[in-house]
Amino acid sequence: MSKSQKRTNEKATFSQEHDLEQKIEVEIKMREGSARLLAAAKHRAQSLEAAKALLTSNERMSVYMAELQNRRRESIKQSCTSGSTGKLSISDLRIPLMWRDSDHFKNRGDHRRFAVFCLARLGTEIHDTSLLYPIDRAHTDLSFPDVLIFNNVPSEFELILEIYSHVLQEDLSIASTPRRIKKTIHSSISKTVGKKLAASLRDEFGSAKSGPHFDLVARAKLSLDDTNDNTHTHDLVINSIENKHHSLPLFGHFCCRLAIQPECITKEICIGNVKIDGQNYWARLQGFCIKTWESKKHAEEGQNPEHIIPINKRTSIQPSRTSTKELLINNSGNSVETLLPIKFESKEEVQKWLKLLSAHINDHSRWKHAAEVIQRVSNIENMRNSFISNKRQGSLYDETPLIESIPSDYTSARPTVQTIFDLTPSTSLSSCSSTNSLTSLRSRSLSISGVFKQSGISLKPHLTSANKKA
């Protein structure tokens, strides 16, 4: 390694360490502010948000401190990563809950209520979702409106999603409320027992002053193979916590849209004058292809290119044997007839283009399917404070289709629970438990099933058998 390269690496390492130190200082101030707010909070919403902010700041500080120690421990740190990076977004995060039938439909049984949020970790970056509460047996799933963005993400990334929950203590039971016990302590028990119980209550009050405690109830790991332009289902690893009563009733899976876009798709890699078949063109390397125009002005005006030359993992590039200012591009295997010669203005230009083209080919191989199909990544960092739309997402339960097979000529939208039973978004299935409601639902389902039979669409067996019994 030359002296100039060593100086460059030392400057880059110093800059990264200084950036981490600034981030640590910011989190220290955030932590102090959250602790003050938690101590002064008089309302549940304030204490929950403060406890969430405090936990997030602590996690970020731990990551920053560990990274800073690792960088200082290494004498030589490579400042540049191999290959290009990308922009990653995680959105449409929805987590189904697994309540018992009597809990959700009959609205009885499990009385617990939760406050839930998620942390997404990637390298030294940690993003948090909005806090959802109260979550009780009426909720079939958790729907987070957030769009979390990560920049400068390498192709070999590993994103860790963590789910944190807290049981709202005042909702556990009437008998577990310390203040109510304290009011009746003198009239119901003796002084000796009263003193012992009062001491335990003081300990409980003292521990309660530290604020709500969030438990890490589940986590998941996502990589480049999990990215897609559409929403997909992924597995959760559920953690076992000491108090099972505080465990969130998770189903073991979650849905999200994890999309990534390599920067080389939108970033201009290389530009310059080239000559193809004896004619001069203005060329641009971007998005795994070389596009050429008759002039730079035509390219800036957005006119259609004269040539589009693919540059991907199947492309081979070699210097020409007849000219030092020429490169040969082959996209058809070993066929010599398909070699495309491109001439440049100088030897330096040839070396520059050869280096960048080779790196571009490697990037296409590293980014796998993300280089083949462009995935849409949102530019909105977070949707929790967005004023564009405050419409809540529907339930996964209500949006689950009830049709098993769809004929090829059936092109309309797949009906859901709400459309089949003619329910409005504000109407839940639990509100249709009366006799009159059940009669109307049976008539609707029978009429709908008749339409499906004429169209050749089969309903699921448990639905048809239920109608026969009715």
Higher-confidence position of 39 and 458: 39
Average pLDDT, the chain: 76
Instruction: Report whether pLDDT(411) > 90.
Output: no
In a domain, 381, yes or no: no
Q: Nearest to residue 445, comparing CAs of 469, 425, 427, 428?
A: 469
- The pLDDT of residue 211 is 80
Q: Are residues 258 and 275 in the same domain?
A: no
Q: What are phi and psi of 65, to 5 degrees?
A: -65, -45
Q: Average pLDDT, stretch 261-274? A: 95
Question: Which of 37, 72, 107 is where one domain is finished?
Answer: 72
pTM for this model (two decimals):
0.71
Which tokens in the block code for residue 153? Answer: 């993400």
Q: How many domains does the chain have?
A: 3
Burial of 38 (0-12, 13-18, 19+ CB in 10 A): buried
Q: Are residues 167 and 258 in the same domain?
A: yes
Q: Are residues 155 and 244 in the same domain?
A: yes
Q: Average pLDDT, stretch 65-77? A: 74
Q: Report the CATH number at residue 302.
A: 2.30.29.30
- The pLDDT of residue 111 is 78
Q: Are residues 309 and 250 in the same domain?
A: no
Q: Average pLDDT, stretch 123-150? A: 93
Q: Average pLDDT, stretch 104-116? A: 73
The answer to whether 367 and 262 have CB atoms below 8 angstroms apart is: yes
In a domain, 207, yes or no: no
Does the bond joining 134 to the residue before it have cis omega, within 30 degrees of 0? yes
In a domain, 398, yes or no: no
The answer to whether 87 and 135 have CB atoms below 8 angstroms apart is: no
Q: Are residues 285 and 363 in the same domain?
A: yes
Q: Are residues 47 and 97 in the same domain?
A: no
Higher-confidence position of 113 and 18: 113
3-state secondary structure of 458: coil
Q: Model confidence over 288-327: pLDDT tens digits?
A: 999 999 999 999 999 999 999 999 999 999 999 889 999 9
Q: Measured between alpha carbons, how far is 167 from 330 in angstroms, rounded to an integer?
A: 62
HSE at residue 299, side-chain half, CA atoms within 13 A, is: 20
- The pLDDT of residue 338 is 74
Q: Are residues 105 and 67 in the same domain?
A: no
In a domain, 457, yes or no: no
Q: What residues form DSSP beta bridges with 120? A: 127, 161
- The pLDDT of residue 399 is 54
Question: Which of 344, 371, 398 is where one domain is finished?
Answer: 371
Q: Are residues 257 and 273 in the same domain?
A: no
In a domain, 461, yes or no: no
3-state secondary structure of 433: coil
Chain Cα centroid distance, residue 401: 24
Instruction: Report whether pLDDT(452) > 50.
Output: no
Helices and strands counted in the chain (H then E): 13, 18
- The pLDDT of residue 279 is 95
Helix (H), strand (E), coil (C) string for 147-199: CEEEEEECCCCCEEEEEEEEECHHHCCHHHCHHHHHHCHHHHCCHHHHHHHHH
Q: Measured between alpha carbons, how far is 105 from 121 in angstroms, rounded to an integer?
A: 36
Q: Are residues 352 and 272 in the same domain?
A: yes
Long-range contacts for 287-290 (Cβ within 8 Å, ≥24 apart)? Answer: 288/264, 288/312, 288/360, 288/363, 288/364, 288/371, 290/342
Q: Measured between alpha carbons, how far is 223 from 368 in angstroms, rounded to an integer?
A: 12
Instruction: Report whether pLDDT(130) > 70.
Output: yes
Q: Model confidence over 333-353: pLDDT tens digits?
A: 655 557 899 999 999 999 999
Other Cβ atoms closer than 10 A to 338? 11
**pLDDT classification of 448: cutoffs 50, 70, 90:** very low
Q: Report the CATH number at residue 94.
A: 2.60.40.150
- The pLDDT of residue 53 is 94
Q: Model confidence over 381-402: pLDDT tens digits?
A: 544 443 333 344 555 555 555 4
Q: Measured between alpha carbons, how far is 40 from 42 in angstroms, rounded to an integer?
A: 6
Question: Which of 44, 72, 100 is where one domain is finished?
Answer: 72
Instruction: Report whether pLDDT(59) > 50.
Output: yes
Q: Nearest to residue 289, comparing CAs of 319, 269, 272, 260?
A: 269
Q: Are residues 307 and 335 in the same domain?
A: yes
Higher-confidence position of 33 and 448: 33
In a domain, 284, yes or no: yes
Chain Cα centroid distance, residue 59: 18
- The pLDDT of residue 191 is 55
Q: Are residues 94 and 125 in the same domain?
A: yes
Q: What are phi and psi of 457, to 5 degrees?
A: -105, 130
Q: Measured between alpha carbons, how far is 104 from 251 in angstroms, rounded to an integer?
A: 14
Q: Are residues 120 and 246 in the same domain?
A: yes
**Element (H or E) spanning 275, and its range?**
strand 270-276
Q: What is the residue range of 23's domain?
A: 8-72
Q: Average pLDDT, stretch 200-217? A: 64
